[in-house]
């Protein structure tokens, strides 16, 4: 079965500090994978290596046919194939919600204005924020901004979507609306990798859970490993609910 994301034995150093010590995993099309672990386990770094936000020192990554380590990589195409949603949403504050979504469609995908507006409307309706299309990001709540960020990434019609702790910066009562959108995307068959602290959500939505510890994949399996951890470290992790 061909994997859409293949991560093989990647190593990543920040100066003296080796953050990823040989991480490998595979993700099939349509799978929803949750990567969990303590702060400092390397999970965000691993995610950011997949779309070339961080470069790897060793090992290989293949995503949607792109060879990440290769110098001839088509970064523009990679970035269209792999979307990412950040913890701090990173919306463009000087543009309205609608403009935020349309900007890349116009200038990267070079779509005509009418087609951009159509797609912007479609994704905004999908995340339930069509009525806010002409608002500016600062007028929205954190949860709304994050949903717009998801819509912005979704509009590019990526093959894989990465989510980097997207609810960690939100007040607890706002995480629900974001998680609902993610769950909806999952049911539509989007391939997703989520770095998350939301255990209950991972249990419900993920097809596969990867537990990282000190820069390595420590334990992996279906969501049932959260109820039945095989290793002591995962047992501690789930037990303390960190």
Partner 1 sequence: MDSFTLVQFEYMLKGVGWTLILSVISFVLGSVGGFGVMLARVSEIVAVRFVTTFFIQVIQGIPLLVLLFIVYFGVGIFGLSVPPLVAASIALMIYVSAFLGEIWRGSVQSVEKTQWEASECLGFTRWQSLRLVIIPQAIKLSLPSTVGFLVQVIKSTSLASVVGFVELTRAGQIINNSLFQPFLVFALVGVLYFCLCYPLSLWSRAMERRLNVGNR
| Interface ranges with partner 1 (CB under 8 A) | 51, 53, 75-77, 79-80, 83-84, 86, 88, 90-94, 103-104, 107-109, 138, 152-153, 156
Q: Nearest approach, Cβ of 193 to partner 1 (angstroms)? A: 14
Identity of the residue, 24 or 135, whose beta carbon is nearer to partner 1 in the bound complex: 135
Q: Nearest approach, Cβ of 226 to partner 1 (angstroms)? A: 29
CB atoms within 10 A of CB 240: 8
Identity of the residue, 130 or 136, whose beta carbon is nearer to partner 1 in the bound complex: 136
Identity of the residue, 12 or 208, whose beta carbon is nearer to partner 1 in the bound complex: 12
Cα 35 from Cα 212, distance rounded (Å): 7
Identity of the residue, 86 or 237, whose beta carbon is nearer to partner 1 in the bound complex: 86
Identity of the residue, 79 or 147, whose beta carbon is nearer to partner 1 in the bound complex: 79
Q: What dihedral do alpha carbons 55, 28, 233, 48 form, nearest 10°?
A: 20
Angle at which helix 172-187 crosses helix 142-155, to 10 degrees, equals 20
Q: Nearest approach, Cβ of 76 to partner 1 (angstroms)? A: 5
Q: Nearest approach, Cβ of 169 to partner 1 (angstroms)? A: 12
Cα 163 from Cα 85, distance rounded (Å): 5
Q: Nearest approach, Cβ of 152 to partner 1 (angstroms)? A: 7
């Amino acid at each position: 079965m061909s994997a859409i994301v293949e991560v093989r034995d990647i190593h990543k150093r920040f100066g003296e500090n080796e953050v990823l010590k040989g991480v490998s995993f595979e993700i099939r099309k349509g799978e929803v994978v949750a990567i969990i672990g303590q702060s400092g386990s390397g999970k965000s770094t691993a995610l950011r290596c997949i779309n070339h936000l961080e470069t790897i020192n060793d090992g290989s990554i293949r995503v949607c046919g792109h060879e990440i380590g290769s110098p001839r990589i088509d970064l523009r195409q990679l970035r269209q194939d792999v979307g990412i949603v950040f913890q701090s949403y990173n919306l463009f504050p000087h543009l309205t919600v609608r403009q935020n979504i349309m900007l890349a469609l116009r200038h990267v995908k070079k779509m005509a204005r009418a087609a951009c507006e159509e797609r912007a409307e479609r994704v905004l309706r999908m995340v339930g924020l069509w009525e806010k299309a002409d608002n500016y990001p600062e007028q929205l709540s954190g949860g709304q901004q994050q949903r717009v960020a998801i819509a912005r990434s979704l509009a590019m019609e990526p093959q894989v979507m990465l989510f980097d702790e997207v609810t960690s910066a939100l007040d607890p009562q706002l995480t629900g609306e974001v998680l609902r959108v993610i769950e909806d995307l999952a049911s539509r068959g989007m391939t997703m990798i989520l770095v998350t602290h939301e255990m209950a959500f991972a249990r419900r939505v993920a097809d596969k859970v990867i537990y990282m510890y000190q820069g390595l994949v420590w334990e992996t399996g279906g969501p049932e490993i959260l109820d039945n951890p095989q290793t002591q470290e995962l047992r501690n992790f789930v037990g303390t609910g960190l």
